[in-house]
Structure 1
Amino acid sequence: MATYTEHEVTYAGGKKIHYLAAGPVNGPLVLFIHGWPATAITWRHQLDAFAAVGFRAVAPDMPGYGQSTSRRLLDDYCQEALVEGMMALLADTGRKAAVWVGHDWGSGVTSSVAIQHPETVKALVSICVPYSTLELGWDQFLPLVNRDIYPEDEYEFGQWDYMRRYEEEFEEAVAWCNKDIAGYCNALMQKPGARPDRTLPAHTAKVRREGPLGGREKPPSVDMTGPPMLPAEVWDSFIKDMERTGFWTGCAYYMHHQRNAEYNGKKDRRLKQPVLFVHATWDLVCDTKTSRLIEPMREACSDLTEVTLDASHWVPFEKPRELNAALFRFIVNSLPSEWPGFWDSGYTTRKSDL
């Protein structure tokens, strides 16, 4: 396990981002940006692996999470405000650019960084949520729903129905999540047992009609679902942080689709940098295997690599070795100058006909 140092950067009149760093200070910089719900420590597998080979690996508690500022102000969680925080984070590392790795809403944020500040992105990695989708609001990603599975007359918002509920009943939706924070997080983060039938609607498509998790009055307790997917010490730290902030601030990310579209929609979204997308076979919500959700990313990225992992949505801690291997291979193949020691290792190759 790597040795972590804790840091804090203040920006925008007093807001703070807390972050973890591991690996040599002068190593190539990789920023790991988590989604909903998670914290910096949930990237532990990646921080350890990248630090061990010489990268400077950094993971923040995103605004609204962990030890970062978690004000109950909706304006703090639009993409414009989040990108401002990411620029403060990058500046605090002393670098002008990095490899950005995002998962879930973290992919939405890193995509916004790439749109707004492409000069800060040496390479972009999006896990589960493709570039040029979530950060552009409903009008961009809703038309990509697979209507064979989600007929529009029955499932207007497809598998994204739960997002619409936040817009219609935000306080009620958050209050339900907060009834048992540990239980809800554990229910979310379960490895799929029997492989789900991908021809059937995801449970998230019925949230406004039935309520979350099939209409339960509150989330199931931890002992009702199964062992946490995260290592025990990571789980305990993560849940402690989530119980401190609750779900209000993390769920506020869902409240800005129109505003995010206005912020990002007028920019040139074509990317020339190396880009990696990680598909998760059994992610039925961020479905890139049977829907057209990946298409805008393919159209926008001129140097795109794709890899598919046999995992659910929680790829970073369900399949950490496979994900780390994919990330390492991508950097070596597509951006070798960012591999530690590339310039000074004296690496040579000799071939002969012997």
Structure 2
Amino acid sequence: MATITHHTVAYANDKQIHYLAAGPINGPLILFIHGWPGTAITWKSQIDAFSAVGFRVVAPDMPGYGQSTARRVADDYCQEALVEGMMALLGDTGRDAAIWVGHDWGAGVTSSVATQHPEAVKALVTLCVPFHTIERGWQGFLPLVNRELYPAEEYEFGQWDYMRNYEEDFEKTIEWFDQDVAGFCKAGNQPSAPISTRFAAITATVRKAGWFGGLPKPPGVELTGPPLLPADVFDSFVGDMQKTGLWPGSAYYLHHARNAEYNGKLVGKLDQPVMFIHAIRDVVCDTKTSRLMEPMRDACSNLTETTIEAGHFVHYEKPDEVQAAIFRFIVEELPSEWPGFWTAGYTKRKGAVAV
């Protein structure tokens, strides 16, 4: 198990980011950026695995979560403000570039970092949410909805209807979440089911039917099975979420137009190694039967894709497979960032003579 240390970096005068760090201080730097909802500790499996082989691993509580600044100030959570925080985080490590790994909104933020500061990205790995989509506002992903599954006349916003719900009824939505934060988090931490046929995601009818199909409040913790995360990690995560509530983290969804202007000014083509991890059971971030991957494929000249049989929280459900995929990606595409590359004296000899 990794020895994890706690750190805090101040930025933008009155804000701070708390982060976890592990592994040798001089090891190649890899940053793990969580999404909604999440905190640094939800990367515990990856922190242990990557630090054990010699990486310097950093995982922040993103703004709005955990011990980082979590004000009810919507401007704190636009992509421009989040990138400012990420650059402060990177600077606090003493490095000027890193491998960035992001999931969900964390993938949106790492994609924004890669767009705005490509020099700070040695390699980019995104899970479930492709580069050049969510961080570019509605136009970055809404036109890519599978309209055979989500006819526009019935599902104007496709599976992203819940995002429109935030814009139209934010405070009421937060009140619903906050009735039972632990129950909500546990319900979202359940194993995925195999998909035999594609069906409309429950997120496609939130404005009409409500969350979880119209339940008056999130299901209680006693109504769902064991969470995907280990019990101690899950309990720490829930404690973090109960501290902040869902308002700050959900405010990431309130800036589509502003984010489009911020990132849309730049072409955002990437030549450095990039990997995307498809979660084949993810019915919301559906990258297999929709066109959601098209912008990433167009924008990245060195793209690796891999598919894992899991749901949206693929790194909780199949951590070993996620770690193996990222390990292989780094070894094959960016070997200079593998720990010990320059110092291990590794020599390959061909044509050994049989005795």
Does the TM-score normalized on the shorter chain lie above 0.5? yes
Structure 2 counterparts to residues 124-135 of structure 1, below 5 A: 124-135=124-135
Structure 2 counterparts to residues 1-354 of structure 1, below 5 A: 1-193=1-193, 195-352=194-351, 354=354
CA distance in 2, matches of 1:203, 1:314: 16
TM-fit CA distance, 1:199: 2.1
TM-fit CA distance, 1:269: 1.0
CA distance in 1, matches of 2:265, 2:180: 41
TM-fit CA distance, 1:145: 0.3
CA distance in 2, matches of 1:238, 1:319: 18
Q: After TM superposition, where is structure 1 displaced by more than 3 Å over at least 4 residues in a row?
A: none
The amino acid that maps onto 2:185 is C
The amino acid that maps onto 1:282 is R
**CA deviation vs aligned residue, 1:125-156 (integer Å, no higher than 9, x gap):** 00000000000010121010000100000000
CA distance in 1, matches of 2:312, 2:240: 21
CA distance in 2, matches of 1:198, 1:134: 26
Is there any run of 5+ residues in structure 1 with no aligned partner, and where? Answer: none
CA distance in 1, matches of 2:197, 2:23: 40
TM-score (norm 2): 0.98
Pick which of 227-236 and 244-253 moved more.
227-236
The amino acid that maps onto 1:166 is Y
CA distance in 2, matches of 1:343, 1:286: 39
Helix, strand or coil at the partner of 1:169? helix
CA distance in 1, matches of 2:85, 2:197: 37
CA distance in 2, matches of 1:20, 1:257: 29
The amino acid that maps onto 1:46 is Q
**CA deviation vs aligned residue, 1:273-295 (integer Å, no higher than 9, x gap):** 00000000000000001000000
Q: How many pairs align?
A: 353
Is there any run of 5+ residues in structure 2 with no aligned partner, and where? Answer: none
TM-fit CA distance, 1:268: 2.0
Helix, strand or coil at the partner of 1:119? helix
CA distance in 2, matches of 1:79, 1:266: 13
Helix, strand or coil at the partner of 2:72? coil
CA distance in 2, matches of 1:270, 1:166: 30
**CA deviation vs aligned residue, 1:259-311 (integer Å, no higher than 9, x gap):** 00000001121000000000000000000010000000000000000000000
Helix, strand or coil at the partner of 1:7? strand
The amino acid that maps onto 1:174 is I
The amino acid that maps onto 1:70 is A
TM-score (norm 1): 0.99
Helix, strand or coil at the partner of 2:113? helix
TM-fit CA distance, 1:198: 4.2
Tell me, yes or no, if the aligned pair for 1:17 and 1:63 is still in contact at 8 Å: yes
Tell me, yes or no, if the aligned pair for 1:33 and 1:62 is still in contact at 8 Å: yes
Helix, strand or coil at the partner of 2:323? helix
**CA deviation vs aligned residue, 1:39-85 (integer Å, no higher than 9, x gap):** 00000000000000000000000000000000000000000000000
Helix, strand or coil at the partner of 2:141? helix
TM-fit CA distance, 1:197: 4.7
TM-fit CA distance, 1:196: 3.5
TM-fit CA distance, 1:316: 1.1
CA distance in 2, matches of 1:229, 1:331: 26
RMSD: 0.7
Q: Measured at CA, do residues 197 and 250 of structure 1 come closer, stay the same or move farther in structure 2, by a change above 3 Å?
A: farther
CA distance in 1, matches of 2:167, 2:24: 43
Tell me, yes or no, if the aligned pair for 1:32 and 1:101 is still in contact at 8 Å: yes
Tell me, yes or no, if the aligned pair for 1:198 and 1:284 is still in contact at 8 Å: no
Helix, strand or coil at the partner of 2:343? coil
**CA deviation vs aligned residue, 1:214-247 (integer Å, no higher than 9, x gap):** 1000000111011111111101110000000000
